[in-house]
């Protein structure tokens, strides 16, 4: 095991996959000369050259479409958005083309493409640059959605996403790039898409989450331990495909569930997952499933209001106590 940052884990995954497969290339805003807005592509231009590490104009719809076309003829593009907030401008290419062409062509075309970049709130980036975007993409059949919360997951899942024959929206935590943790040294370390990971084991309550909210959930679980409550903390890692077996297993074990997500409550990812739990595991539940989300408002700029709007360990703790009838 080596200790590395989330940023370096992503960089290593890109480097290894570009070495492994000459059809893989990286394109996006500032990915070449500037090493990427968050320095994820540092050193790749020098190693692979300007044919495979390509700076794009500030035209998300345009370079996303170029990537889709390249994928249709056999290449494996990795398209970097400076932030997934900007990827809204490319939704036509991602949802109407990349996600549907395999179906619309009756299997004649594959679109092996990764759209990656930061998602969710950082610090005082306000309403237009602080959105957790996974729900927009997971709603569409044909698009896989990945939300790694640790350096190891970032590396292993990005490698799997690049090798996948379907389009993948790969959403990185904007506040995680400097987060360090252990990563396996194996240069073929790949985590299959659609497999959840139990980050902490308990028997009293299940906290289910994904992305950088895994760290909020673990903080809440540590506080619960001081109250004599042991929490299962399940990191979904992939929103679509969803590891429903892992969710049902933790529900059957603890009988109480809190779902934590960074996005808004209305029609959020948690709405779908809670519905599936109550459809498939209702008899295991000893209490209603509760969700912890961002407040149902555009993200405020003011620091105090921003903190109040974000999900926190305290808000997760409050929901857990409610589910435990404490």
If asked whether residues 27 and 97 sit together in one domain, one would say yes
pLDDT digits (tens, 9 = 90+) for 3-57: 999 999 999 999 999 999 999 999 999 999 999 999 999 999 999 999 999 999 9
Give the tokens for residue 40. Answer: 């994820």
205, containing H or E segment = strand 205-209
Q: Which are the catalytic amino acids?
A: 60, 129
Confidence tier at 95 by pLDDT (50, 70, 90): very high
pLDDT digits (tens, 9 = 90+) for 187-202: 899 999 999 999 999 9
| pTM for the structure as a whole | 0.96
If asked whether residues 36 and 141 sit together in one domain, one would say yes
If asked whether residues 156 and 274 sit together in one domain, one would say no
Residues 6+ apart with CB under 8 A from 217: 199, 207, 209, 233, 260, 316
Distance separating alpha carbons of residues 123 and 215, to the nearest angstrom: 16
Distance separating alpha carbons of residues 260 and 217, to the nearest angstrom: 7
Q: What is the CATH number of the domain that holds 230?
A: 3.40.50.920
CB 286 within 8 A of CB 256: yes
Which of 310, 35, 2, 11 has its CA nearest to residue 175?
310
220, containing H or E segment = helix 213-225
Distance separating alpha carbons of residues 171 and 85, to the nearest angstrom: 11
pLDDT digits (tens, 9 = 90+) for 145-180: 999 999 999 999 999 999 999 999 999 999 999 999
Q: What is the CATH number of the domain that holds 60?
A: 3.40.50.970
If asked whether residues 229 and 169 sit together in one domain, one would say no
Distance separating alpha carbons of residues 87 and 142, to the nearest angstrom: 17
- The confidence score (pLDDT) of residue 187 equals 81
114, containing H or E segment = strand 114-119
């Amino acid at each position: 095991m080596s200790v590395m940052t989330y940023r370096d884990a992503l960089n290593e995954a890109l480097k290894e996959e570009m070495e492994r497969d000459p059809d893989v290339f990286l394109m996006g805003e500032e990915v070449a000369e500037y090493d990427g807005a968050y320095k994820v592509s540092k050193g790749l231009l020098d190693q692979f050259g300007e044919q495979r590490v390509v700076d794009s104009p500030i035209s998300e719809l345009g370079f996303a479409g170029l990537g889709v076309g390249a994928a249709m003829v056999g290449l494996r593009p990795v398209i970097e958005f400076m932030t997934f907030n900007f990827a809204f401008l490319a939704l036509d290419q991602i949802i109407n083309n990349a996600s549907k062409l395999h179906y619309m062509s009756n299997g004649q075309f594959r679109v092996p493409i990764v759209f990656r970049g930061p998602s969710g709130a950082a610090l005082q980036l306000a309403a237009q640059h602080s959105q957790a975007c996974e729900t927009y993409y997971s709603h569409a059949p044909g698009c896989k959605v990945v939300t790694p919360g640790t350096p190891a997951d970032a590396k292993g899942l990005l490698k799997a996403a690049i090798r996948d024959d379907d389009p993948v929206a790969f959403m990185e935590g904007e506040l995680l790039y400097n987060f360090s943790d252990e990563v396996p040294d194996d240069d073929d370390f790949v985590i299959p898409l659609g497999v959840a990971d139990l980050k902490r084991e308990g028997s009293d309550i299940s906290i289910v989450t994904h992305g950088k909210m895994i760290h909020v959930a673990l903080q809440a679980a540590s506080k619960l331990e001081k109250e004599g409550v042991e929490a299962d903390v399940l990191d979904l890692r992939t929103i679509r495909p969803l590891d429903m077996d892992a969710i049902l297993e933790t529900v059957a074990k603890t009988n109480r569930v809190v779902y934590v997500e960074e996005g808004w409550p209305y029609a959020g990812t948690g709405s779908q997952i809670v519905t599936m739990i109550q459809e498939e595991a209702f008899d295991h539940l000893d209490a209603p499933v509760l969700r912890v989300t961002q407040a149902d408002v555009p993200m405020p700029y003011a620091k105090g209001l921003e903190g109040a709007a974000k999900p926190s360990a305290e808000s997760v703790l409050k929901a857990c106590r409610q589910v435990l009838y404490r």
